[in-house]
Amino acid sequence: MKILHTAISAQKISLGLRKKNKIIGFVPTMGYLHEGHLSLIKTARKKADTVFVSIFVNPLQFGPQEDLAKYPRDFKRDEKFCREAGVNFIFYPNVKEMYPENYSTYVNVENITEKLEGEIRPDHFRGVATVVLKLLNIVQPHFAVFGQKDAQQACVIKKMVEDLNVNTKIIVCPTVREKGGLAMSSRNTYLSLEQRKDAAYLFKALEYAKRKIQTENYNRDIDFLKSQMTKLIKSRSTVTKIDYISFNDNRTLAEIDSLKNIENKEILVSLAVRFSNLRLIDNIIIKR
């Protein structure tokens, strides 16, 4: 396994591999890897000749009040993790390499970035889309793998790749969960024991919605489902705020406010909940 620090070195290697008809799979990350990342790497490992992982905590996608400085980092641990998972190259640039002093180009994916996470984190997806497009141009992968846990991010990246004719296939893998149902996240490391137990209720609320929606002829309105989910989550003492519980079309992210006439659709139910300073997101896709 090789560690590459510059865009030009990663690009040269990729172009060389492409000339030899090697399939390149890519997993972009911000490091502090966990089982969720491992499942993405495993998917890439199965389908590719060469697997690239990038580790870069992207300052552009953090708001001024967010946890950029505190975001967990441990490169040695990540390196070991990648080696054991069969990764061939880690792209590990510093901030100057990605955003030199005169940097001035940004990617804005309109319409689907203003709602849900975008409402609370206004420039977040501009930062995500910009760094992902840069990483795809650097690594030049045949496919890139992302997690369903960041559902809106996956939609935004798919839309960007489609709109800008990027020659990379986007693969989205299911969310990996802890035993109690809590979605794996690097930020879970900040949860106290009590908060961790309560955080498992996010998935219980999502499963409740799924059970109800998949019940034949279930026609109660979405507001009723939202209020039941809110009750369940608020029953946990360490929950400080629910930012949103939302029902959307999984492809367009158009809001769904009634189950009437919804057939053959994938409904994305997503939520964001605060536990003091920590904010967790989760989602489930329901076929109806």
CA dist list (Å): 257 to 2, 65, 156, 186, 246: 50, 32, 22, 32, 9
Q: Residue 199 Cβ, how far from ligand PAF at the closest point, in Å?
A: 19
Site residues (vs ligand PAF, CB under 6 A): 28-30, 58, 61, 128, 131-132, 150, 153
Using the 8-state DSSP alphabet, how is residue 184 labeled? P
* Alpha-carbon span 285 to 266, nearest angstrom: 6
Q: Residue 64 Cβ, how far from ligand PAF at the closest point, in Å?
A: 18
Which of the following is catalytic: 5, 34, 37, 124?
37
Sign, Cα dihedral of 221, 274, 95, 42: negative
- Which residue's CB is nearer to ligand PAF, number 29 or number 188? 29
- Which residue's CB is nearer to ligand PAF, number 129 or number 239? 129
Q: Could you tell me if 28 and 170 are in contact, meaning their C-beta atoms sit under 8 angstroms apart?
A: no
Amino acid at 44: A
Give the β-pairing of 278-287 and 89-91. Answer: unpaired
* Token pair in block for residue 23: 């399939």
Q: Residue 200 Cβ, how far from ligand PAF at the closest point, in Å?
A: 22
Q: Residue 21 Cβ, how far from ligand PAF at the closest point, in Å?
A: 27
- Which residue's CB is nearer to ligand PAF, number 166 or number 262? 166
Q: Residue 60 Cβ, how far from ligand PAF at the closest point, in Å?
A: 8
Q: Could you tell me if 268 and 247 are in contact, meaning their C-beta atoms sit under 8 angstroms apart?
A: yes
Is residue 5 flagged as an active site residue? no
- Which residue's CB is nearer to ligand PAF, number 132 or number 278? 132
- Which residue's CB is nearer to ligand PAF, number 31 or number 284? 31
Cα angle 234, 180, 209; round to 5: 55
**Size (the chain), residues:** 288
Catalytic residues: 37
